[in-house]
Structure 1
Amino acid sequence: MINFPCFICLQKQSLDTMKRLKIEDSIQEKTLRKIMELLLNIDWSLSSDELENEVNIVFRGEIGNADPFKQIKDINNKESMKLIEAIKEKIKQTDADKKIAKATLAAIAGNIIDFGPDKNFNVGKTLQKFLKKKRLPRDFNYLREELLTANTILYFLDNAGEIVFDKLLLETINSLRNKPFSRISLVVKGGPFVNDVTLTEALSIGMNEIPNVEFRKIGNGEPDTGPNRKSAIVEKWIKEHDIVLSKGQANYAGLHSYKNIYFLLIAKCAYSASVLNVPEGSLIIKRSI
C-alpha cells in the first residue's frame, strides 16, 4: 500500500520545523525543493518510517544542523519530569492488580509528544484523559501476564519526553515482579531524527539506572547509526527476548510484520488510524500474532 498522505505530511513537517527554527526563506525554499525532488524519485513502496529516514537526511543536510531538535528534546524531557511525581502518586494509590494498567496508560499517553503528525499536543491533558480509562484493549491482559513472567524484554523507545513515562512503566513492572528482568534491552536511535530518543536523551533521565539495562541502536538512515528495523539483526534481537514492546507509529510501521510484539501507541494521524482501523486519536495496545 502506497502511503500517499505521508508524502504530504513529510513536506509539511519539514516546513513547520524550519519555521520553528527561524531558517531563512531562501534555505527553506531550497530544502523543500530538494525534498520534493527526493520524493518524486524515491521508491514509493517504502514504509513510512523508511520515507522519513530519507527525507530527514536531506533536511538535516540542507539546513546544516545535524540535530535540529536537540533543545526541544531536552525541554520535552524536563517538562515530562515535572509531571512524573503526580503520576507516581496516582499509581501508588492504585490497587496492586491495576498498577501496571495505570503505568501503561501513562506510557501510551506520553506518545502524544511528537513533532511529526501532531505538533500541537498537550501532555498533561492527554495523561488526565487516559488515566481515567477503566477498560483497556483486550491484548493488555496478555501483556500484563507476560510482563510479570518474562525473563528478558526488548523495548523500542520512541520520543524524548515520552521516555520519562516509559521509565516509569519499567520501574512499576519491576516493583511488582518476584525478581527483576535478567535483561532489559532499550532500543534508541543511533543518530538524530526529529525528536526521537537517542542514547543522549535516555541517559539524561537516568534510564541507565534501571537494573540490568542495556542499550541497542537502530539507524536514522545514515551510515554507521545502526540497523534498519527490517534487518536480520533486528529480527534476531526480537527472537532472543521473551517479550517485545514497541512505542509509536514509526516503530509500528517498521515492525508490524514481525510476530509476538506488543505495540503501544496513539493513532495520531488519519492515515495511521485507517491502517489500524480505529478512530484518530485512539489508544492502541495491539499484539502481533
Structure 2
Amino acid sequence: MNITNECVKCIIYQIEKATKVLNLDEELSKSIMKEVKKRAENFSFEDTPPFVAKDVYQYLAKRTNLDDPLEKIKQKSIQKAISYVPFIEEKIKNSEDKLFTAIKAAVAGNVIDFSTKEEFSLDDEINSIFETEFAINDYEVFKKELEETNSLIILSDNAGENVFDKILIKTIKNIYPKLTIYYATREKPIINDITTKEALQIGIDKYCNVISTGVDTPGLEKKQASRDFLELFDKTPLVLSKGMGNFECLENYHDKKIFFLFKVKCEVVANTISRNLGEIVLKRG
C-alpha cells in the first residue's frame, strides 16, 4: 500500500505528538518539526507508509539522542496489558473455541498504537472485544490452514500487544503441540514497535522462537528484511500478520499464506479494504 497525502499528514502529526510526549523544549521541537515537514515534501508516493516513516523517526532519535525515544511508552503499554492477563485467560478457559477467543484477545491488543491519529481505549476494547464481530472473518480458513501446517510465523506489531500475542501462542501450542512457531520482531527500535528485547522481556520464548526480521521500519518492508528472515519467510507455509503497518507493507503481494489481523485505525486502510474505521478484521492476503 503506497502512501497518500493523508499518510503524509499523519506521519507529520506523529512526530509532533512525539515531541510533546518527550517534553522537548520549544526550540528543539520547532527545529525538528521544520526539518520533518521539509523531508515530507520529498516523500515518494511509490513507497509504503512504514518505509517513509522510518526516515523521520530515525531523525527524531538522532536529534533527541535517544536510541528508543518511546521506550517509556512501550513499557507502560506492556504493564497495562499484563494487568488484563487473568481476565483474558479466564475467558479462554471458559470458551468453547479457545483459538478464536485467543485471536480476539490478540486483536484487542492492536488498539495500542502510537502511530495513528485515532485513539482507542484498551479498557473499552478488552471489555467489548469478545462480543465484537469481525468485519472480515477468514477464521475458518485460517484454522484449517493451521491444522494442516507444521510451522507458523507471527509478525509482531506494537509493544503491549506482545502480552496478548503470548497468550495466543500459548493457546496455539496447547492445541497443536508439534507446531513450530516463530515470533518475528523489528531489528531495532522504531516508534512503539516490538523488538526482540520486548518479546523476550515477557517470556514469550517459552512457547516459540523469537527472531528478528532485520527491518528497521514500522512494518515488514521486505526490501529491508535480512536474507535469513526472507529464507524462513519463503519456506514457511503460514503467516499471521499483526497490525496495520505489516498490512501496509504486505497487502500488495496478495500472498494467500498471509492472514492479516488488525483493528482498522485509519481511513486510508479502511478505504483500501472497503471497511469502516474501528472495525476488526482477520483477512486472508
**Pair 1:169 & 2:168 matched:** yes
SS at match of 1:257: helix
Aligned to 2:56: 55
The answer as to 2:275 corresponding to 1:278 is yes
Question: What is the aligned partner in structure 1 of residue 178 from structure 2?
Answer: 180
- Gap change, CA 1:9 and 1:241, over 3 Å in 2: same
Which runs of structure 1 show a deviation greater than 4 angstroms over 4 or more consecutive aligned residues?
Answer: none
Structure 1 residues 119 and 84: alpha-carbon distance in aligned structure 2, compared to 1, 3 A threshold: farther
How much does 1:141 deviate? 0.5
Which of 238, 247, 254 aligns to 2:242? It is: 247
> Counterpart of 1:126?
125
1:117-151 C-alpha deviation (Å, 9 max, x unpaired):
04743112112221113667441101112223321
Distance 1:135 1:267, change over 3 A: closer
Q: CA-to-partner distance for each residue in 1:222-262, whole Å, 9 max, x for gaps?
A: xxxxx842458455332211210111111011111331200
The answer on whether the counterparts of 1:110 and 1:162 sit within 8 Å (CA) in structure 2 is: yes
Q: Does structure 1 conserve the Cα–Cα contact (< 8 Å) formed by 2:185 and 2:195?
A: yes
Partner of 1:115: 114
- Indicate whether 1:39 and 2:37 are aligned: no
Q: Distance in 1 between matches of 2:223 and 2:213?
A: 13
Shift of 1:279: 0.5
The equivalent residue for 1:215 is 211
Question: How does the TM-score come out when normalised to structure 1?
Answer: 0.90
Letter matched to residue 251 of structure 1:
N
Aligned to 1:224: none
Separation of aligned partners in 2, 1:254 and 1:108? 18
Are the counterparts in 2 of residues 157 and 246 from structure 1 also a CA contact under 8 Å? yes
Give the equivalent residue in structure 2 for 1:229: 222
Number of residues of Structure 1 aligned to a counterpart in Structure 2? 280
Query: Given the superposition, is the C-alpha separation of residues 13 and 134 from structure 1 closer, same or farther in structure 2, using an over 3 Å criterion?
Result: closer
C-alpha separation in 2, matches of 1:11 and 1:2: 13
Change in 2 beyond 3 A, CA 1:219/1:135: closer
Question: Within 2, Cα distance between the matches of 1:214 and 1:103?
Answer: 19
- Identify if the C-alpha distance between structure 1 residues 118 and 172 changes in structure 2 by more than 3 Å, giving closer, same or farther: farther
Shift, 1:68, TM fit: 0.9
Percent of counterpart pairs with the same letter? 26
Rounded to whole Å, the distance in 2 between the matches of 1:287 and 1:16 is 33
Task: For residue 214 of structure 1, report the CA deviation from its aligned partner.
Answer: 3.6
Gaps of 5+ in 2: none
Which residue number corresponds to residue 195 of structure 2?
198
**Which whole-Å CA distance do the structure 2 matches of 1:138 and 1:73 have between them?**
29
Which amino acid in 2 is paired with 1:229?
A: K
Q: Secondary structure at the residue paired with 1:159?
A: coil
The CA deviation at 1:24 is 0.5
1:105–1:130 CA contact under 8 A, matched in 2: yes
How far apart are the structure 2 equivalents of 1:112 and 1:135? 15
Indicate conservation of the 8 Å contact 2:240/2:259, yes or no. Answer: yes
Other-structure match for 2:17: 16
Contact preservation (8 Å) 2:50, 2:221: no
| Partner deviation per Cα, 1:52-96 (whole Å, 9 max, x = no partner) | 11121112112222211111111111111110111100110111x
Where do residues 56-95 of structure 1 align in structure 2 (5 Å cutoff)?
56-95=57-96
* SS, match of residue 222 in structure 2: coil
d(CA) in 1 for partners of 2:152, 2:246: 16
Distance 2:232 2:121 in 1: 34
- 1:217 is aligned with what amino acid? T
Query: In 2, distance between residues paired with 1:71 and 1:119?
Result: 21
Q: CA RMSD in A?
A: 2.1
